[in-house]
A and B are shown apart, each in its own frame.
Chain A
Amino acid sequence: MLRNTLPGALLWLIMAAPPVFGQKESLQKDTVHDFIGSDACKTCHADVWSKFYKNPHFKSLASGTEPPERTGCESCHGPGGRHVEAHGGKATIVAFSQLEPKQILDNCLRCHGETLPRANIRRSQHTENDVVCTSCHSIHKSPVPKFLLANTQREVCYGCHADVRSQFSMPFKHRVNEGVMVCTDCHNPHGAFPPTWRNAERPHLMEQALANEEPCLKCHEEKRGPFVFEHPPVRVEGCEICHYPHGSPNSRMLRRPVVFTMCLECHNGAPGFGRARLGDPVPSSFHDLRSPIFQNCTNCHSHIHGSNVDAYFLK
């Protein structure tokens, strides 16, 4: 039943769609005659106007060459004619506090849509969860000098991601709280391309390095390879198979406090896994795991991310 119905429903959707296309939220439906210029806004919104020259959107006003619908206040808030006639009111102008998330997104993307960082914004996890532009950006009251963020970048992100704040409070972590790293070093909050590691699942808004590689390699470039002897999980699964990328109670942000248990969880000989699907090899017989020497695998296998010299990653 469902098998017969579904293609029909999809066909109907495709055929029915064109007549109703064009319904992307456009909030500037008034004629050009309703545009009155930003000077009219100064009178009532003096507090906004007095510092607007520091706002990146002031460029549209300073240029003097943009069309009215892309100039100054009316580029975002729409034509102000009726608003002035009515002596104000949120119903007579595009007031972002009154807009639905999709309307906010559409309004901003009129100018900011065709850019590489926002190529995936329509399907990003933020958009799907109604986190849109004004959730993070404060256009008129930004306390930071770049990108009009509503707070410092980490505080904006921590505001929703309390669990991530906790991870950066761990004893071993990337130095985000210390100020040398920011979330956007690794993530693109506007949406990500499918990752080129793992099986392309769960992009987690990751921003790729050198156009197509895991962002860890932006800084840890010595692990990029190629190596004569690659440790395949690094390439296939990505760094997270062994490390917590934000922070960890364990040294080197590893997923386990002691190295050997983490390695042995894969190197257990179980068939079906590994390069040849014969199982990842069990450490050979001289690795007596009662001996402290063998409990820290990277003591000897120091080049575990890949080596040109040694098949066992010893050097």
Chain B
Amino acid sequence: MKAIILALLCIGAAVAQQPVAPSQESVGPVRGDNTAEYNVVNSIELGYRWDSVGGSQDEYNSQVNYGNGLRLLSSSLTVNSRDGHGPFFDEIVLYTQGLGNDPYESATLRVQKNHLYRFDMNWRLNDYVNPGLVSAGQSGGNLRDTQYTSQDDDLTLFPQSKIKFFLGYSRNVQDGPEFTAIGGLFAAAPLGANTATSERDARNEYRIGNEFQFLGFKVNWMHGWEDFKQDFRANPQFAAGQGGTTVFSNPYHGTSPYWRVVLFTDKKWFSMNGRFTYTGTQRTFISEQGNFLGAQPVLGLQTLTVGAGQRPVATGNLTWSIFPTSKLTITNSTAVYNVRTEGNAEFLQVNNATGGIQSQNFLYLGIRTIANQLDLNYRAVKWLGFFAGYHYSDRFMRNILDPSLPAYDQTDILNTGIFGVRIRPIQPLMILLDGEIGRANHPFTAKSERNYQALNARTQYKHKSLMLSAYAQSNYNNNSIVLTSYASHARTYAVNTSWTPIRWLSFQADYSKLHLDTLGGLSFFDSGQLLTGQESLYISNLHTGNLGVQFTMGKRVNLYAGYSHVQDAGDGRGQATGSGFGPNIPQFQIAQTFPMRFQSPLARLSVKLTNRVRWNAGYQYYGYHEDFFTGQGLLPDQAYRAHTGYTSVLWSF
């Protein structure tokens, strides 16, 4: 029995763990049905999904969020003209997923007629719950539902001709909680009470463009406008007993017009392209807060902040490749990037008896980066190739923190070298080794890349249906200075395999380990005393495995079983608090590692009832557990266990 279980586990290593529904199996005739002018392939999957959650429902909603109810789990339709000369269209492709109240819904549509037009639409809905960032005694209220919908529409006219036209429209809407510490920094009652309200962000983007030939170059230009609006649906209010009647409104609107021009030419001995963009973001805002510090009427204040800001961004890229020999490609890419943030704002504050106005400039932030990358790609012999590159970038920043103060200028120069070798000793086997080393002289933050190196090794064996791959990566960054230290060392190891040994059996497995240790310098106040020169060592040993196996039994039954496991072993300690590295304060000791487990086995059965109908059923379990934080003082118990499942009918008509 043990041997059977072990064998099943080994086989089970597998398919990317994805939600148990919709079903992956197809239904109906593979080649579809022919009408006079078109071929049609279609299917719909209608089903019922259920869930049963124990433990933290909020955390389940943050991580998984599948619920109960009837769903159009999936549908697909493809229509193709059989001779490429359909009367109104030559192709329709329509795919949907999860419609009817699944938290993750999508619809993709393509309609095209050869040489005349092509229309692409992509609609998505992502319904999730903001995961909690809560401290003991501060319930924050972050665990609230957020709905995000996006839609992209693109129409291309004359897609196969030398002159094309592009029209596009995108719309994103995010509806959910917004958090603000409106009580102010020193308000006694609401301090830390991260007050939630309801907010709606809407983005509309319009695009128009064209492509044509000019003097041997292909020219592609695009002009777009992105309008953005952020408004409260409901003004934030303090929780009962925590304050008075503070009202806060904060509309924030703006537009981001942009231009992009690209030129290409691709000749026999060289290719070249240039890309130039300009984005001119503007935003206006007005914030009004009434009865500020309302819990203390004596200090009751009203404030009004209005202003407008600009953030123009300009970029230019010029890339050329030459082919001196059939074995060598030399590519050079030069990039220029320039951005500045500027504007002004006025701040009006009124108390019971007096009023005042104060002008507050935007804190100016300008960044200009010039970068050049030269790469050589050389294939020495059929089984051996090399690449190497040298990258240089120069980033200049100007900061103005107050108009009365001089500007702060700083320049960061980064030199990077890359090198790689490709070896193919036999046709199915590929071995890749590459490395990168970089040196920056003035990084912006204490944990930015300063002296870093990355080493990668990858091997892949692919023969018929068998694929084996292994990957190892090491990233090291050292940003230490005299007064503080920062060193980050990440190592990743991964193996992956998939195999279909016989027609009715296939499996896939992967495992990866991510080791991360980061040493950072800290300074902070402990009970009113400033502690400097402290260090934090965060250690993570994250193991992830996916297993899956698919059986086809006879001509009618498909069975899929899978298992996904994520586990952070932490730094190996057995207790939350200990005498680990760094400040000997319990809160820091706990925060230096995060052992947890997240596991999800699933099984799905699909039975072919007729040539055009399948019945499906599936079950998926989700289990989440935090070793140290569960029940500890820092966070409330966020563990959960969830049983989910579905049954559906997949039908081709």
What residues on B are CB-neighbors of A61 within 8 Å? 84
Q: Is B43 an interface residue (CB 8 A)?
A: no
Question: Would you call A249 and B594 a contact (CB within 8 A)?
Answer: yes
Question: Would you call B194 and A211 a contact (CB within 8 A)?
Answer: no
CB closest chain-A residue, reference B540? A249
Q: Is A282 an interface residue (CB 8 A)?
A: yes
Interface residues on B, range: 35 or more
- B residues 336-352 near A (Cβ < 8 Å) are 337, 339, 341-343, 345
- Selected interface stretch from A31-39, A85-93, A287-295: A287-295
Distance between B319 CB and nearest chain A CB, rounded to angstroms: 6
Q: Is B621 an interface residue (CB 8 A)?
A: no
Q: Could you say which of A20, A146, A202, A288 contacts B528, with CB atoms under 8 Å apart?
A: A288
Q: Is A140 an interface residue (CB 8 A)?
A: no
Distance between B96 CB and nearest chain A CB, rounded to angstroms: 10
CB closest chain-B residue, reference A19? B324
Distance between A63 CB and nearest chain B CB, rounded to angstroms: 6
CB closest chain-A residue, reference B320? A122
Question: Would you call B369 and A129 a contact (CB within 8 A)?
Answer: no
Q: Is B474 an interface residue (CB 8 A)?
A: no
- B residues 607-653 near A (Cβ < 8 Å) are 624, 629, 633-634
Q: Is A102 an interface residue (CB 8 A)?
A: yes
Q: Could you say which of B135, B277, B496, B544 contacts A211, with CB atoms under 8 Å apart?
A: B277
Bound-state CA distance A100–B265 (Å) is 24
Task: With A24-B268, A211-B258, A300-B181 as known contacts, state yes or no: A175 contacts B126, CB within 8 Å.
Answer: yes
Q: Is B62 an interface residue (CB 8 A)?
A: yes
Question: Would you call A274 and B444 a contact (CB within 8 A)?
Answer: yes
Q: Could you say which of A181, A275, A290, A308 contacts B307, with CB atoms under 8 Å apart?
A: A308
Question: Would you call A193 and B317 a contact (CB within 8 A)?
Answer: yes
Question: Would you call A162 and B495 a contact (CB within 8 A)?
Answer: yes
Question: Would you call B137 and A292 a contact (CB within 8 A)?
Answer: yes
What residues on B are CB-neighbors of A256 within 8 Å? 538, 591
What residues on B are CB-neighbors of A115 within 8 Å? 264
Bound-state CA distance A172–B527 (Å) is 34
- Selected interface stretch from A1-9, A75-83, A265-273: A265-273
Task: With A54-B39, A235-B365, A257-B591 as known contacts, state yes or no: A315 contacts B182, CB within 8 Å.
Answer: yes
Question: Would you call B447 and A287 a contact (CB within 8 A)?
Answer: no
What residues on A are CB-neighbors of B95 within 8 Å? 145
Q: Could you say which of B268, B377, B401, B448 contacts A127, with CB atoms under 8 Å apart?
A: B377
A-B contact count (CB 8 A): 509
Q: Could you say which of B76, B90, B438, B525 contacts A288, with CB atoms under 8 Å apart?
A: B525
Bound-state CA distance A54–B525 (Å) is 67
Q: Could you say which of A114, A159, A235 contacts B265, with CB atoms under 8 Å apart?
A: A114
Task: With A201-B449, A224-B281, A226-B283 as known contacts, state yes or no: A122 contacts B444, CB within 8 Å.
Answer: no
Bound-state CA distance A228–B258 (Å) is 22
What residues on B are CB-neighbors of A46 within 8 Å? none
What residues on A are CB-neighbors of B311 within 8 Å? 224-226
Question: Would you call B180 and A221 a contact (CB within 8 A)?
Answer: no
CB closest chain-B residue, reference A109? B266
Distance between A281 CB and nearest chain B CB, rounded to angstroms: 10
Question: Would you call B598 and A249 a contact (CB within 8 A)?
Answer: yes
What residues on A are CB-neighbors of B31 within 8 Å? 50-51
Question: Would you call B222 and A261 a contact (CB within 8 A)?
Answer: no
Question: Would you call B150 and A219 a contact (CB within 8 A)?
Answer: yes
Distance between A245 CB and nearest chain B CB, rounded to angstroms: 15
What residues on A are CB-neighbors of B495 within 8 Å? 162
Q: Is B461 an interface residue (CB 8 A)?
A: no
What residues on A are CB-neighbors of B377 within 8 Å? 122-123, 127-128
CB closest chain-A residue, reference B193? A299
Bound-state CA distance A54–B266 (Å) is 29
Q: Could you say which of B16, B63, B362 contacts A158, with CB atoms under 8 Å apart?
A: B16
25 A–B contact pairs at CB < 8 A?
A53-B81, A54-B39, A62-B84, A120-B319, A122-B377, A128-B434, A162-B496, A172-B131, A181-B126, A200-B337, A201-B371, A202-B436, A221-B172, A221-B228, A225-B341, A226-B342, A226-B362, A232-B444, A251-B131, A271-B481, A280-B445, A282-B524, A308-B250, A309-B250, A314-B182
* Extra contacts besides A261-B536, A274-B444, A293-B135 (9): CB < 8 Å: A114-B264, A128-B434, A175-B104, A179-B19, A222-B174, A226-B281, A229-B363, A275-B408, A315-B287
By Cβ-Cβ distance, the 9 closest A-B pairs, closest first, are A62-B84, A21-B269, A166-B544, A265-B520, A200-B371, A270-B484, A162-B496, A226-B311, A211-B277
